[in-house]
């Protein structure tokens, strides 16, 4: 094969040391661009009873930050405890499971006994050559939960860390609230443990509703997308690890498509390297044809969860829907006015059909376009978009991670979306009127507004 004479095994081993598409990162050496967050979390964890809640978009890097922080603060006598949540996670049951997991890992043997008509598990283990017996009762009160964990955490390690991952998955509000009360009670008793929660949400209120205030005592951190230089750093480091060079535009394009979601940077870079490795020629510099192949491979390998809404919005529909969908992701901004999305649409239409399109290739007018945008909010069109806090004409993606997939599909069709350019600020209508009137020497409210020279389909 064709990178430096590497065998497939050698190639995969270097690849794995650099990239991790599906699993969160756990080591501080590979976590890029989160120094500030790490610093803030460190300060919070120094407080007695200080715990952390990391929230943000799906795929932005919450679990990676949580796992890295956990391995940093967990004392070296054991591993951090990782609890993934699901729809039906129940608080009392989870505490029982944490306890049993710790005991099993500590090498305890278990048996079942009957006490007051209840079966209880009894664990036997040796601690510093002394035999110890621990009974795990049916946990049905906060008191029992706190009591049990206080005893068990001593067995785990001197400075235990527990990660409660994907907290948003828990459906019942009362179960979530139990976690909040629990860490408060542990704190009141002075139990030495650090909790790190993660959850998908645009705001803490979305995640916790009326129980938001119970979590306010935690240090809450909203994790934003990765800045440009860090997106590029991931690609550049991986390419360098193979002794290769890469065209700067490719690195920039990957950063742009990713929209700051590291998942896409890892995915595209991994496929870029596979494309280079599978090349029949010896590769020293990664070039455009490898990038084309990487885009293709990435689309094939992407999770169905992202494919589904895209297909619902565009499959078996006229090209208007496809172009409108691409237009929604054609900006660095996550929250966009329909006017700006429409301008993106006109730009894309022109890029594909030229400056003087005919018939069906002429763009829709804004009214027709807005109807399609409204459809993108509905279930049968994949619920791609949502309206921002009841503000008419202002849209955001329901799941921002999807923007990367939209950009990837557009790129595959030869249209590069402008993920690196923010929208022009919308000006208030009074100011717009003045500008339209030419008061400040402007001919139009939007300088260079493409709509001014375009003939629409029904004109
Ligand atoms: N700071 C970072 N530097 C480099 N890669 C990162 C960073 N953060 C996350 N990643 C990578 O991005 C991908 C997504 O990260 P992670 O699973 O941590 O996100 P998440 O927010 O927990 O996602 P989800 O909401 O789906 O659980 C993973 O492949 C991970 O390797
Ligand atoms: Mg996660």
* CA–CA–CA angle 216, 221, 226 (5° rounding): 165
Which ligand 1 atom is nearest residue 59's CA? 23
The alpha carbon of 216 and the centre of ligand 2 are apart by a number of angstroms equal to 21
Nearest one of 56, 17, 19, 10 to 260, comparing CA atoms: 56
Instruction: Say which range, 199-213, 280-294, 305-319, has the weakest mean pLDDT.
Output: 199-213
> Could you read off the pLDDT of 224-268 as tens digits, one per residue?
999 999 999 999 999 999 999 999 999 999 999 999 999 999 999
Residue 459 is assigned to a structural domain of this protein = no
Distances (CA, A) of 61 to 19, 68, 81, 103, 157: 14, 11, 19, 31, 27
Residue 392 is assigned to a structural domain of this protein = yes
The alpha carbon of 67 and the centre of ligand 2 are apart by a number of angstroms equal to 10
Token digits of residue 179: 């976690």
Average pLDDT, the chain: 90
Residue 202 burial (CB < 10 Å; 0-12/13-18/19+)? middle
Give the rounded percent of residues in the chain with a pLDDT score beyond 70.
92
> Could you read off the pLDDT of 325-357 as tens digits, one per residue?
999 999 999 999 999 999 999 999 999 999 999
Q: Are 207 and 55 in contact (CB under 8 A)?
A: yes
Domain with residue 148: its CATH number is 3.40.50.300
Binding site membership of 404 for ligand 1 (Cβ less than 6 Å): no
Residue 126 is assigned to a structural domain of this protein = no
* pLDDT at residue 212 is higher than 50: yes
pLDDT of residue 431: 61
Domain with residue 246: its CATH number is 1.10.8
Nearest one of 27, 405, 32, 29 to 234, comparing CA atoms: 32
pLDDT of residue 12: 97
Binding site membership of 34 for ligand 1 (Cβ less than 6 Å): yes
> Could you read off the pLDDT of 418-428 as tens digits, one per residue?
988 999 887 66
Same domain, 218 and 280: no
**Cα dihedral 393→399→402→406 (10° resolution):** -10
Binding site membership of 26 for ligand 1 (Cβ less than 6 Å): no
Q: Are 147 and 15 in contact (CB under 8 A)?
A: no
Binding site membership of 234 for ligand 1 (Cβ less than 6 Å): yes
The alpha carbon of 114 and the centre of ligand 2 are apart by a number of angstroms equal to 39
> Could you read off the pLDDT of 82-120 as tens digits, one per residue?
999 999 999 999 999 999 999 999 888 888 878 777 778
Q: Which of 169, 262, 301 to probe ligand 1 with, by most ligand atoms within 8 A of CB? A: 262
Contacts of 108 (CB under 8 A, 6+ apart): 123, 124, 125, 134
Q: Once rounded to an integer, what is the mean pLDDT over residues 130-136?
A: 87
- For ligand 1, atom 17, name the residue with the nearest CA: 24
The alpha carbon of 261 and the centre of ligand 1 are apart by a number of angstroms equal to 8
Domain boundary among the residues 301, 334, 356 is at 301
Domain boundary among the residues 255, 277, 301 is at 301
Token digits of residue 337: 């006015």
Contacts of 134 (CB under 8 A, 6+ apart): 103, 108, 122, 123, 125, 151, 152, 155
* pLDDT at residue 429 is higher than 70: no
* pLDDT at residue 132 is higher than 80: yes
The alpha carbon of 388 and the centre of ligand 1 are apart by a number of angstroms equal to 26
Do you know the residue count of the chain? Answer: 459
Residue 133 is assigned to a structural domain of this protein = no
Return the higher-pLDDT residue of 389 and 328: 328
> Could you read off the pLDDT of 10-59 as tens digits, one per residue?
999 999 999 999 899 999 999 999 999 999 998 898 888 789 999 999 99
> Could you read off the pLDDT of 432-459 as tens digits, one per residue?
555 555 554 444 444 455 566 678 887 7
Owner of token pair 């997939």: 405
Q: How many domains, in total, are found in the chain?
A: 3
Q: Which of 18, 36, 37, 63 to probe ligand 1 with, by most ligand atoms within 8 A of CB? A: 63
Same domain, 182 and 252: no
CA distance 137 to 120: 6
- pTM value is 0.89
Contacts of 86 (CB under 8 A, 6+ apart): 166, 169, 170
Residue 121 is assigned to a structural domain of this protein = no
Q: Which of 36, 61, 86, 166 to probe ligand 1 with, by most ligand atoms within 8 A of CB? A: 61
CA distance 88 to 357: 54
In angstroms, the first-to-last Cα distance of the chain is 57
Range of the structural domain that residue 197 is part of: 34-103+142-222
Q: Could you give phi then psi for residue 262, rounded to 5 degrees?
A: -60, -25
Identity of the highest mean pLDDT range in 5-9, 202-206, 236-240, 300-304: 236-240
- For ligand 1, atom 15, name the residue with the nearest CA: 61
> Could you read off the pLDDT of 264-288 as tens digits, one per residue?
999 999 999 999 999 999 999 999 9
Which ligand 1 atom is nearest residue 200's CA? 25
> Could you read off the pLDDT of 142-182 as tens digits, one per residue?
999 999 999 999 999 999 999 999 999 998 888 988 988 89
CA distance 204 to 216: 9
Binding site membership of 59 for ligand 1 (Cβ less than 6 Å): yes
Binding site membership of 80 for ligand 1 (Cβ less than 6 Å): no
Element (H, E) at 132: strand 130-136
Residue 161 is assigned to a structural domain of this protein = yes
């Amino acid at each position: 094969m064709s990178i430096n004479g590497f065998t497939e095994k050698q190639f995969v081993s270097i690849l794995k040391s650099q990239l991790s598409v599906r699993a969160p990162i756990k080591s501080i050496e590979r976590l890029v661009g989160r120094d500030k967050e790490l610093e803030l979390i460190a300060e919070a964890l120094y407080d007695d009873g200080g715990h952390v809640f990391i929230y943000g978009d799906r795929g932005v890097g919450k679990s990676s930050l949580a796992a890295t922080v956990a391995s940093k603060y967990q004392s070296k006598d054991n591993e951090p405890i990782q609890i993934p949540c699901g729809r039906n996670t129940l608080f009392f049951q989870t505490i029982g499971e944490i306890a049993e997991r710790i005991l099993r890992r500590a090498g305890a043997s278990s048996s079942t006994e009957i006490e007051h008509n209840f079966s209880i598990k009894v664990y036997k283990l040796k601690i510093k050559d002394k035999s110890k017996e621990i009974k795990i009762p049916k946990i049905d009160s906060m008191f029992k939960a706190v009591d049990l964990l206080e005893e068990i955490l001593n067995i785990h390690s001197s400075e235990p860390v527990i990660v409660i991952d994907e907290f948003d998955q828990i459906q019942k509000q009362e179960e979530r609230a139990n976690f909040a009360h629990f860490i408060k009670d542990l704190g009141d008793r002075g139990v030495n443990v650090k909790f790190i929660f993660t959850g998908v949400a645009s705001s803490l209120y979305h995640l916790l509703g009326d129980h938001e205030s119970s979590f306010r005592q935690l240090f809450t951190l909203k994790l934003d997308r990765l800045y440009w230089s860090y997106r590029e750093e991931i690609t550049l480091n991986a390419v360098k690890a193979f002794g290769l060079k890469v065209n700067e535009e490719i690195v920039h394009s990957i950063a742009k498509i990713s929209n700051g979601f590291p998942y896409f940077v890892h995915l595209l870079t991994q496929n870029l390297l596979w494309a280079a490795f599978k090349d029949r020629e010896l590769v020293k510099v990664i070039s455009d044809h490898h990038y084309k192949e990487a885009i293709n491979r990435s689309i094939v390998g992407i999770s169905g969860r992202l494919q589904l809404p895209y297909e619902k919005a565009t499959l078996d529909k006229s090209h208007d829907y496809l172009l409108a969908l691409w237009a929604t992701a054609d900006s660095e901004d996550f929250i966009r006015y329909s006017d700006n999305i429409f301008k993106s649409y006109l730009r894309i239409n022109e890029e594909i059909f030229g400056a003087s399109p005919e018939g069906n290739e002429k763009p829709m007018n804004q009214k027709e376009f807005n109807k399609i945008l409204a459809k993108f909010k509905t279930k049968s069109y994949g619920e791609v978009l949502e309206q921002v806090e009841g503000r008419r004409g202002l849209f955001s993606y329901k799941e921002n991670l999807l923007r990367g997939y939209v950009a990837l599909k557009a790129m595959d069709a030869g249209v590069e979306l402008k993920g690196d350019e923010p929208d022009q600020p919308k000006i208030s209508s009074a100011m717009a009127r003045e500008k339209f009137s030419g008061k400040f020497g402007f001919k139009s409210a939007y300088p260079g507004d493409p709509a001014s020279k375009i003939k629409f389909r029904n004109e």
